[in-house]
Amino acid sequence: MAVPSFDQSAPPSWHGTTIVAVRKAGQVVVAGDGQVSLGQTVIKANARKVRRIGGGNVLAGFAGATADAFTLLERLEAKLERYPNHLEKACVELAKDWRTDRYLRRLEAMMVVADAKSLLVLTGNGDVLEPADGLVGIGSGGNYALAAARALADRDDMDAEAVARRALEIAADICVYTNRNVTLEKL
């Protein structure tokens, strides 16, 4: 029987981050886990991947390379200063820059941003997407958290925060790159 060969020279890849966003009953919550892994090693268990930006009126969660995500957060802050109270316009302008600028084009990250009116996903492909159901999941465990949030969102006994927290717990039970150290911001 042949033994599969693995490229030992390839550097291990960074994994980590599960971000979930929930809009329900006038609340919006963005929550993320705290794990950052390099290959099979947990490098950090309490990373803070969810932030308030735009004077505290915008919530942002990021997945991907941390330095890349911070660069994008800074750029989004600048766009929000240029287009105050217009999150969608600021995001579209950032996405255009991200897609066309030679430096930004190499950044490997995704972002979820929300304010009182909008919940959006931004990608390096130039996407600015608004989910139809008010639920988003990105990162290593994003699909697990999103599936859990969809299953829980209609429950009358759970507000947006409870749905987001439980969705991350479920993702942590499934995804080895997700832990239970949750950072959560809500509007």
Question: pTM for the complete prediction?
Answer: 0.88
Q: What is the pLDDT of residues 86-102, one digit of tens each?
A: 999 999 999 888 877 77
pLDDT of residue 10: 54
Residue of 140, 151, 150 lying closest to 178 (CA atoms): 140
What confidence score (pLDDT) does residue 5 get?
45
CB 63 within 8 A of CB 36: no
Give the other-Cβ count within 10 Å of 65's Cβ: 15
Give the C-alpha separation, 132 to 92, whole Å: 18
Is 17 noted as a catalytic residue in this protein?
yes
Give residue-wise pLDDT tens across range 114-164: 999 999 999 878 889 999 999 999 999 999 999 999 999 999 999 999 999
Q: For the domain 15-177, what is the CATH code?
A: 3.60.20.10
pLDDT of residue 12: 54
Which residue type is seen at 173?
D
